Amino acid sequence: MHLAYPAVLAALLFSTGLYGVLARRNAILVLMSVELMLNAVNLNLVAFDVWLSRTARDTLHSGQALTLFTIAVAAAEIGIGLAIVLAVYRNRGTSDIDRLRDTAEGPDGDNPAAEKAEATA
C-alpha cells in the first residue's frame, strides 16, 4: 500500500478532530475530538514506521512502540478528563464550555469575588 493513503486519511481525521475542538460547546464532545486527533497521529506513526522499515533494514519498530505509549496516555487522559467533566456537571448542572469559563461564578450567575469587593468598597 502506498504511503499517501494513510497520510490522507490521518489528515482527514485530524481535521475533523480540530473542527470538533474549535466548534463544539460540549466538553465531552471536545474530549472525543481530542481523541480523534490523537488517533490520527497514531495512524501516521504506524504508517511511517511500516514505510521506513521497508526502506531500511531496521526492524526496531519504534513508531509502533510510540503508538502504544500514546494510546496509554490517551486512555489516562480521557479517564481524568471525564472525571473532571462529571464533577463540574454535578456542581454546575451543565457541561457547556461557554458557561464554564469563569470558575468563580456560581450556577445562578453570581460572582462571589465581585460581591465581596462591592461589600468592602
Hey, how many other C-beta atoms are within 10 angstroms of the C-beta on 37?
A: 19
> Are 10 and 45 contacting, i.e. CB atoms less than 8 angstroms apart?
no
Residues 6 or more apart in contact with residue 107 via CB below 8 angstroms: 91, 92, 93
**CA of 105: how far to CAs of 67, 85, 114, in Å?**
40, 17, 9
Q: What is the pLDDT of residues 41-52, one digit of tens each?
A: 999 999 998 888
2: amino acid identity, one letter = H
List the chain pLDDT tens, one digit each, 121 residues. Answer: 799 999 999 999 999 999 999 998 889 999 999 999 999 999 999 999 888 887 777 677 888 889 999 999 999 999 999 999 999 899 888 888 887 776 655 555 555 555 555 566 5
Burial of 35 (0-12, 13-18, 19+ CB in 10 A): middle
Task: Give the pTM.
Answer: 0.75
Q: What is the pLDDT of residues 108-117, one digit of tens each?
A: 555 555 555 5
Consecutive H or E run containing 21: helix 4-23
